[in-house]
Amino acid sequence: MDAAIDALKAAMPEGGRVFIPGCAGEPLGFADALARRPEAAAGLTFEGVWIPGVNRTDWAGLHDEARAEAIFVAPEWRDSFAAGRLAFSPLTYTQVWRRLSERAFEAGLFTVAPPGADSLCSLGVAADFSPAVFERTRVRIGLIHVGMPTVRDGPTVPLDAFDVVVEVDTPLPGYGAGAIDPVSAAIAARVAGLIPEGATVQTGLGKIGVATLAALGDRRGLRVHSGMVTEPLIDLLDRDAVDAVTTGVALGSSALYARAADDPRMRFRPVGETHAISTLAAIPRFVAVNSAIEVDLFGQVNAEWMDGRQVSGAGGLIDFLRGAWASDGGLPVVALPASTKGDALSRIVPRLSCPPSVGRGDPVVVVTEHGVADLRGLSIDARAQALIAVASPAHRDRLADDWSAMRQAM
């Protein structure tokens, strides 16, 4: 990795902007090497789309004079965010795709599979954002990762397009949601009941998204169109529940990565395609399933704030919900537990105390373990009633009283 670091410093003696991929393409070995040579990070601004819970490197924390730009906030980056070294931008995936595709980068790292006989390198299971910046990057550093699979259908880059090539043999970043708890399983069962055979499904990370995929094994004719896919997809493919998969990223174990290389039903596409409203609107019966932290009685969704602190970002949430809205027969689903902390705290709240991730102008289908509240087409009073009905029974009376008070003050 020293060759990659030396190339960076030679290309940018005064510093500059560096693209760093995320998800399974995160260059962990490079991060470790840079941590051993922190002075090499001085003056650099690292930019990429790094996923909380998956990509843990605090790029801005490598040196006091290093900076980073991101669309998420994660616990590992909290100190840099608080110190102002990490610039957080509340952008959707389609918005950050456009920003990246219009920016010039002095250097960029690109994790790719070993080249084939045609001297082309597959972007493998991390095809999300690298295509946006590749042509606009002055010095391209190719990390030839022996563990990155060459997928059958996905973006490639020519080996001779790299200025520096480094071979890498460290494990790819993985992902596991952990054991599925009974509440997540109950929510997933309700969500699965909304998904007909022949539908196209998108799910996010987290226990509810993983549990929803796992609950679809008895379906036939499904298609998956998602920003990322996780481990339960293997079972759906084995059971022939899914006919085709379009995704930008696979996140899971080596078994999932091997399946991505071998299964002809899987294809990988960049965010400019997977999240584009024109693409999503053209998919009939597109069901987008995403989780949230809380929903208020106006139908506004918080997917980013907890206890008054920014803990995540909107990511592809808005893109997929709006795509499902525009789809013929589509469903924009937000799924969450009705309460937390042993039922002491309701996650259906009277009014959000933070900026909404999804405004009330984008009504969704809210699913908890207690039921389904389809807010589309409802008046504000009908929305509130529908949401109170899927809240925890222990909190319904208080929510009704709060709504009555807010309604009288309008």
Give the pLDDT confidence score for residue 235 in this predicted structure. 94
pLDDT in tens, 189-228: 999 999 999 999 999 888 999 999 999 999 999 999 999 9
Domain total in the chain: 2
| Banded model confidence at residue 3, pLDDT cuts 50, 70, 90 | confident
Highest averaged pLDDT of the listed ranges 2-16, 160-174, 294-308 = 294-308
Q: What integer is the mean pLDDT of 155-166? A: 97
Give the pLDDT confidence score for residue 176 in this predicted structure. 82
- Distance from C-alpha of 375 to C-alpha of 115, rounded to nearest angstrom: 50
> Element (H or E) spanning 29, and its range?
helix 28-36
348 in the same domain as 215: yes
DSSP 324-376: HHHSTT-EEEEE--SEETTTTEESEESS-SS--SB-TTS--EEEETTEEEE-T
DSSP 8-state assignment for residue 303: S
Percent of the chain with pLDDT over 90: 92
| Banded model confidence at residue 268, pLDDT cuts 50, 70, 90 | very high
CATH of the domain at 369: 3.40.1080.20
Q: What integer is the mean pLDDT of 153-179? A: 92
| Banded model confidence at residue 178, pLDDT cuts 50, 70, 90 | confident
Segments of 10-136 assigned E as strands: 16-19, 44-47, 67-70, 86-88, 105-112, 120-122
Give the pLDDT confidence score for residue 17 in this predicted structure. 95
Q: What integer is the mean pLDDT of 282-306? A: 98
Q: What integer is the mean pLDDT of 260-279? A: 97
Does any domain span residue 173? no
197 in the same domain as 143: no
228 in the same domain as 158: no
Give the pLDDT confidence score for residue 9 in this predicted structure. 82
198 in the same domain as 113: no
Does any domain span residue 346? yes
Q: What integer is the mean pLDDT of 62-85? A: 96
Give the pLDDT confidence score for residue 165 in this predicted structure. 96
- Distance from C-alpha of 46 to C-alpha of 107, rounded to nearest angstrom: 10
Task: Provide long-range contacts, Cβ within 8 A and 24+ apart, for 188-192.
Answer: 188/212, 188/214, 188/215, 188/335, 189/215, 190/335, 190/367, 190/368, 190/369, 190/371, 190/372, 191/215, 191/289, 191/333, 191/335, 191/367, 192/216
What domain range includes position 87?
2-168
| Banded model confidence at residue 4, pLDDT cuts 50, 70, 90 | confident
CATH of the domain at 142: 3.40.1080.10
Q: What integer is the mean pLDDT of 344-361? A: 97
Give the pLDDT confidence score for residue 373 in this predicted structure. 99
192 in the same domain as 88: no
101 in the same domain as 38: yes
Query: What does pLDDT average to over the chain?
Result: 96
Task: Answer whether residue 2 shows pLDDT above 90.
Answer: no
272 in the same domain as 163: no
pLDDT in tens, 96-133: 999 999 999 999 999 999 999 999 999 999 999 999 99
Does any domain span residue 207? yes
230 in the same domain as 203: yes
Q: What integer is the mean pLDDT of 373-401? A: 98
Q: What integer is the mean pLDDT of 46-52? A: 96
74 in the same domain as 221: no
339 in the same domain as 290: yes
| Banded model confidence at residue 68, pLDDT cuts 50, 70, 90 | very high
Assigned token pair, 169 = 């043999």
Task: Answer whether residue 404 shows pLDDT above 90.
Answer: yes
- Distance from C-alpha of 385 to C-alpha of 399, rounded to nearest angstrom: 9
Q: How many residues does the chain have?
A: 410
Highest averaged pLDDT of the listed ranges 29-33, 174-178, 230-234, 368-372 = 368-372
Task: Answer whether residue 177 shows pLDDT above 80.
Answer: no
Task: Answer whether residue 145 shows pLDDT above 90.
Answer: yes
187 in the same domain as 139: no
| Banded model confidence at residue 15, pLDDT cuts 50, 70, 90 | confident
118 in the same domain as 87: yes
Give the pLDDT confidence score for residue 358 in this predicted structure. 97
